[in-house]
Structure 1
Amino acid sequence: MAKFDVLIRGGTVVDGTSVPRFVADIGIKDGVVAQIGGKMDVIDADQVLDADGLIVAPGFVDLHTHYDAQIQWDPYCTISGWHGVTSVVLGNCGFGFAPVRVEERDRAMLTMSRTEAIPFDSMKEGMIWDWITFPEFLDTLDRIPKGVNCLSYMPLAPLMTWVMGLEAAKSRRANDDEIAEMKRLLNEAMDAGACGWSTQRLGENSVQADYDGTPMVTDIMSDSECLALAEVLAERDEGFIQITQFTGDLDKDLEFQSELAAAAKRPILHNLIAVNPKNPDLHRNRMKWLEECNARGERIFGQAATIRAAFTFTLEDWNLYDSSPAWNYATTGTRDERKAKMADPEVRERIIAEIDEAIKKLGQTQALGGPIEELLIQDLAHQDELEEFVGMTVGQVAEIRGYHPVHAMLDLALETDLQAEFLTPMREQNDEWTAEMITSPYCIPGVSDGGAHTKFLTAGSYPTDFLMWLVRDTGQLTLEEAHYRLSNLPARAAGFRDRGTLVEGAPADVVVYDLDALNITPEWTGEIVYDFPGGEWRRVQRPDGYRWILVNGEVTFQDGESTGSTPGKLLRHGRG
């Protein structure tokens, strides 16, 4: 019997601990790093990977994903799995599929088709649905083939819906008996291996609304309900909380998250922090807040958006204008209902009025996407009579046609049966400020939203972009710092007990890559592929430069191609 299953030979090891890189062989046995350095011979291994001139580093840990459905038909959780991610956390933002009663499954999928823009037909055809309770959901995750490791939060939206009923959860606070039942079920979930709980609190005008346009259950949950559930983590002294909270009062939102961390006595993942290229005070103030919280013993980490990307979207699928009630109204309902609303002059005037009001108050039109007049027209369903407008901005079309940009956008959408593609302008990037943000002791790169917004978001490529942009092309970060941020720090913050570093005795989650060859194709917005169940399409970006990706000691990708191996594990309590 060979001493090693796999020998990675002669690579430059960046082990995720921040120690300087070094050249060494790595021997892997039974899914674990058995030896680093020392005398090893090719005859001692069943498989030898020649890593001369390549970087050998721990696999990346993606804390913010929505692969709860997709992992059931895509064991590699792509696009994240293509880009070196070897461990993912499911159930973010308070959204998920357990506990869910049999008769409420379609409603749960409709919710996710809107709030996270996951195609309903894909979920309907691709999900197994052999569970009801959260522990049963974990059992399913444990059983299905996986090309990545995973662990899951208990998402609060299905928990509250299970206990209170959907309409009650959206119309009143939980009573004492209901809170007690939620705490019991949360304990049950954590006994089974949940890593904590997650929630989204965006207020009445949520940017990620429910299928019917109403706020999500968690958007209107009270502080007291959150604090009661935080007590469960404090009593157990385990787990962590992921929270997305922007209710319109930033000071109050941050104050509450500080209170939540104090009550839970466990880590909080605050979503999110990003650089505003025109105002560095925004990310600097948030960094200062994180430092103050941690100085008080409140362990709060900021999940930081670092990806350089744009959105390409159609009004058939776009849901990120939902913070505007008029836009929310116009983009909910059946296809015919939405088209009728978009054509309604009164609806259009309401949209315009709300945009004008937002500009007066906030200096911007929508939460995401930028000013409508700056949107680029990427495609108009190949209609010859409209082809002259492709490549123009919505504002330019409005000027030609002699009316408001909202009319131009909606008319183009209707003239193409909602197939007009709009491209958000590329956000100005500042590598110095991004590096400044990400080198905070309390900032973690990521927020991929992997598995969600599949028709207009490809942020699962963030690890590759991070290494290309901030390490190779600008030199803002060292490789050692980058790999600590991409693997070790998120693993430690999220409670992965044994992942995130390449040290002897650790599970062998490994990326082997050529830094000079790293690339993302197609750049910026990706390409359309029809590879989802139900004949649905999504946007993807593939990487170049990864020679091998290993999960628990088995090669899952070689030169970008899947090996078919599925060695991923469910990490109950962060262990695997």
Structure 2
Amino acid sequence: MAQWDLLFSGATVFDGEGTPGRVEDVAVNSGVIVARGLNLPHDAAKKVIDAKGKWLLPGMLDIHTHLDLEVEVAPALDEVVRHGTTTVLVGNCSLGTCFGAQESEGQEPIVDCFTRVENIPKAVLRTCAKKMTWDNPEDYLAHFDTLNLGPNIAAFVPHSMLRIEVMGLEASISRAPTEVELQKMEAILEGAMKLGYLGLSTDGLPFHYLSNDPHTEKRIPTQFASFNELRRLLKVVRKYDRVWQTTPIIENHLKALFYFTLTSGRLFGKPLKTSALSAMEMTAAPKSAKLFLGVAKLLNSKLLDGRLHFQALGTNFRVWSDGIVSPLFEELSSTAELIALEYDDYEGRQRLMWNVEWVARFRKEWRHGRTGDDFASWKARRGLPDSLVIREPEKLIFDGAPCADWDGESFAQVMSRAQLFKSGDRSCARSDSEREAFDKIDIELRDDADFVLHMLRTYDKSFRFYADVANAENRSTLAFLLHENTLPGFNDSGAHITNMAFFDSNLMSLKLAKEQGEDVVAKVVKRLTKDPADIFGLDAGSLVLGARADMVLINPDALDNWQSDETRELVYRDIFEHEQMVNRPDGIVDTVYIAGEMVWDGVHGATDVLGKKPLGKYLRSADADVICEQTEAAA
């Protein structure tokens, strides 16, 4: 009689512990790993999987997602599962849904906070918000028991939503909390820690704005908190040895450093695990990551006894724009004003773009640091720009242009021909389509600011282009992934749905590691599995005996010729009734298993069980169950 449900035979096993891969068999029964070794008996298993030549890894973690909304309408989360991800973290960047929709007096906090920060259309957000039946962190966790979850899930308490819950949206962006309100926030946060929440998430990026009138010029609530408020809330997180997830206050480096000192055990009595964004080789500021990592080295030293790491993206940071609609262009006041208008407000955008004052401001911002004759340009040439927005026309590439001839070309290339055309050389147009497009240009093209202005006025959001904002050609990506003060993350899965698709970041990390040999593969697997599981206190990321059988089988040869940019695409997804950027490489992921059940087949796609029955579960951070038991006993 068979004693095992599954037997993986002859796999090269990377078990997440950092040890070199070794060929062995792995047996699974009742969703748990029960045996490992050489030549395990095939007749003891109901099903034997020939895994020769393949890598068997623990299911990987995605520690920075915004799948809070998608999990409510499509709990299978197949776009992450297909990449071998079996555990996702939500509630990042101060935004989340653990308090429900929080709608009152006509306010829509979910819509207000998520729309511009995460570039998710309002209609999509409202569809997701309708699914929310809970109004507190405890019921939020309980509701996962009613979903047919694909991957496991764990959540932060999002600071913006916590402030809204206690103060209301209007007050959370207009005044400081009273002592009573601050005590209530502390109490709610402590209750969440006892329930097993990961910690607290905050945000400091200066271009994260609310989306609904009359607050479109206001930043999200977390950014109105004082240092004292954060210190008090993080004291609760520190008490339970949980994690502070944050983005730095990049507009004020000294203030950012001051806030990061909250990680210090020397200054605050006990180290605070801190997961910050991000360590990448920025195109506009290539040395900025070294500055961040230098800060981490200082704060983590014996002198200050901190626990700060920066999340490192495992692929190149390529971002698409629909016209001007992109998270990048929130950084410029002129383009942020365009984005703040309702998505369908074509007339409003046109009025703004023909406003003389706005045009002057747009031109000034677009050319800032690029004129070559001022201090801003001097700083930009040395990798210290005032803005990280990519505006150089040679770095902006059409991909969904109004003229098909332009796709794959830079703004600079097209603009050069357009200038020749407008000067009288009509022969430079390469097709009737291009000639027709050039004939529409009704302004003088003095520079690329004029060219972009023409494109926006003429085509609004109906043209697409991209820029490699960071990790271009993945020159430094692997080094950042392996750095002692980083952790793979910042995938932003589920956010910016038409702008980026980094679902594949873990797979690209494996590809980069494979290029350096299997010893490096073992290190990277640990970084993608056991390391984050340990830091966030989660029962995941391991193939030790007794571990839950969340696993992925990889075809390593398929990594060799794969280029992630070639598999990023814009598709229509029925669950959103909207297009979304996805990344769907073929052949790399052979199969994915959650709790011992195959949920993804690299040939046939999702299996019959994915989304049809509960597979993953809500993972409580370490010791939460013990704390709950102690609390109940004391009561």
Give the TM-score normalised by structure 2: 0.83
2:621 corresponds to: 573
Match of 1:101 in 2: 102
The superposition leaves residues 374-406 of structure 1 with CA deviations (integer Å, 9 ceiling, x where unpaired) of 31222234xxxx555554433445452523323
2:84 matches 1:84: yes
Distance 2:350 2:85 in 1: 39
SS, match of residue 318 in structure 2: coil
Q: Which moved more, 1:56-65 or 1:125-134?
A: 125-134
Task: Give the Å deviation of 1:107.
Answer: 3.7
Q: CA deviation at 1:460?
A: 1.4
Question: What is the aligned counterpart of 1:350 among 349, 361, 370?
Answer: 361
1:422 and 2:439 matched: no
Q: Return the letter of the residue paired with 2:355.
A: D
Equivalent residues of 2:331, 2:389 under 8 A apart: no
The percentage of aligned residue pairs carrying the same residue is 24
5+ residue gaps, structure 1:
none
1:119 aligns to 2:121 (yes or no): yes
Residue aligned with 1:197, SS: strand
Report 1:187-206 matches (<5 A). Answer: 187-202=190-205, 206=206
CA separation in 1, counterparts of 2:284 and 2:114?
A: 34
Among candidates 583, 594, 605, match of residue 551 of structure 1: 594
Q: Is the 1:376–1:424 Cα contact (8 Å) retained in structure 2?
A: yes
Report the Cα distance in structure 2 between the residues aligned to 1:441 and 1:63, rounded to whole angstroms.
17
Residue 291 of structure 1 aligns to a residue whose secondary structure is helix
**TM-fit CA distance, 1:172:** 1.9
Aligned counterparts of 2:255 and 2:93: Cα–Cα separation in 1:
19
Please state if 1:270 is matched with 2:273: no
* Residue 436 of structure 2: aligned partner: none
Paired AA for residue 50 in structure 1: D
Say whether 1:338 aligns with 2:383: no
5 Å matches for 1:40-439?
40-99=40-99, 100-103=101-104, 106-127=108-129, 128-202=131-205, 206-211=206-211, 212-235=216-239, 237-262=240-265, 263=268, 265-276=271-282, 281-295=287-301, 296-315=304-323, 317-334=325-342, 335-336=345-346, 337-357=348-368, 360-361=375-376, 363=380, 364=385, 366-372=387-393, 374-381=395-402, 386=403, 389-399=406-416, 400=419, 402-425=445-468, 429=472, 433-439=476-482
User: Partners in 1 of 2:282 and 2:581 — Cα distance?
Assistant: 26
Alignment of structure 1 residues 412-491 onto 2, 5 Å: 412-425=455-468, 429=472, 433-468=476-511, 470-473=512-515, 475=517, 478-491=520-533
Whether the 8 Å CA contact 2:74–2:575 is kept in 1: the answer is no
Distance in 1 (CA, whole Å) between partners of 2:47 and 2:389 is 48
Distance verdict in 2 for CA 1:512–1:105, change over 3 Å: farther
| 1:19 counterpart SS class | coil
Q: Quick one: which amino acid aligns to residue 350 of structure 2?
A: K
* 2:76 counterpart of 1:35: no
Cα deviations by residue, 1:251-284 (Å, 9 ceiling, x for unpaired): 4312321224444633110111112478765333
SS of match in other structure, 1:79: helix
Q: Which moved more, 1:188-197 or 1:452-461?
A: 188-197
8 Å Cα contact 2:54/2:553 also seen in 1: yes
Query: Partner of 1:5: helix, strand, or coil?
Result: strand
Cα deviation 1:550-575 (Å, max 9, x = unaligned): 11211111115111324111102258
How far is the alpha carbon of 1:455 from its aligned partner? 0.3
Aligned-pair distance for 1:250? 2.0
Q: Secondary structure at the match of 1:26?
A: strand
Query: What residue number does 1:564 align with?
Result: 608
| Residues 277/388 of structure 1: CA separation in 2 closer, same or farther (3 Å cut) | closer
Q: Judging changes above 3 Å, is the alpha-carbon distance between structure 1 residues 30 and 71 closer, same or farther for their aligned structure 2 residues?
A: same
Deviates more, 1:394-403 or 1:151-160: 394-403
Could you tell me whether the CA contact under 8 Å between 1:9 and 1:48 is conserved in 2? yes
Maintained 8 Å contact 2:316/2:472: yes
- Per mean C-alpha deviation after superposition, the further-off stretch among 398-407 and 182-191 is 398-407
1:552/1:82 CA distance change after superposition, 3 Å: same
Is this contact kept in 2: 1:376–1:392, CA < 8 A?
yes
Tell me if structure 2 keeps the 8 A contact 1:330–1:341: yes
* Separation of aligned partners in 2, 1:377 and 1:412: 11
1:502 aligned counterpart, secondary structure = coil
Matched AA of 2:117:
T
How far apart, in 2, do the equivalents of 1:425 and 1:431 lie? Answer: 10
Verify the 8 A CA contact 1:147 1:565 in the aligned structure 2: no
258-267 or 160-169: bigger deviation: 258-267
- Letter of the 1:315 partner, please give it: G
Q: Which amino acid aligns with 2:61?
A: V
Counterpart Cα distance in 2 of 1:157 and 1:472: 40
Is 1:503 matched with 2:544?
yes
The offset of 1:88, in angstroms, is 0.7
Distance 2:455 2:19 in 1: 55
CA RMSD after TM alignment: 2.6
- How far apart are the structure 2 equivalents of 1:370 and 1:564? 47
C-alpha deviation, 1:348, in angstroms:
2.0
- Alignment length, in residue pairs? 566
Q: Secondary structure at the match of 2:251?
A: coil
Q: 2:178 corresponds to which letter in structure 1?
A: N
5+ residue gaps, structure 2, are 420-443, 626-635
Q: Matched residue of 1:331: which SS?
A: helix
* Residue 532 to residue 253, structure 1, CA distance change in 2 (3 Å): farther
AA aligned to 1:378 is D
Structure-1 separation of matches of 2:501 and 2:563: 11
What's the offset of the Cα at 1:428?
A: 6.3
> What SS class does the counterpart of residue 273 from structure 1 fall into?
coil
Report SS of the residue matched to 1:326. Answer: helix
Aligned letter for 1:393? S
SS at match of 1:543: coil
Structure 1 residues 319 and 478, CA, compared in 2 at 3 Å: closer, same or farther? closer
What is the CA distance between 1:330 and its match in structure 2?
Answer: 2.0
The whole-number CA distance in structure 1 between the counterparts of 2:285 and 2:494 is: 31
